[in-house]
Structure 1
Amino acid sequence: MRSVFVLAGALVLLALIGPSLAPQDPTAIDIPNRLSAPSAEWPLGTGALGRDVLSRLLYGAQWSLGLAFLVSVIGLTIGTIAGLTAANGGKALDWGIMRTTDAFLALPELVAAVVIAGLLGAGTGSLIFALSVMGWMRYARVARGIALSVKTRGYVIQAQLAGMSPVAIARWHSLPSLMPSLIVVWTGMFARAILGISALGFLGFGVQPPTPEWGTMLLDARVHMRSMPLLMIWPGLAVVLSALLINLCGDVLRDELAKRQC
Structure 2
Amino acid sequence: MTDALLRPVRGGNAFEETVQRLLQTIRLGAVGPGERLPSERELAVRLGVSRDTLREAIAALADAGYLISRRGRYGGTFVADELPTGGAHEVTDASPEPLSPAAVVDALAVRAVLETGAARLAAARALTAEERERLQSALEESSGAASADYRRLDSRLHLAIAELAGAPSLVPLVADARTRINRLLDEIPLLARNIAHSDEQHQRVVGAILAGRPDEAVAAMQEHLDGTEALLTGFLA
Question: Based on CA coordinates, which of the two structures has the bigger radius of gyration?
Answer: 1
When normalised by structure 1's length, the TM-score is 0.29
When normalised by structure 2's length, the TM-score is 0.31
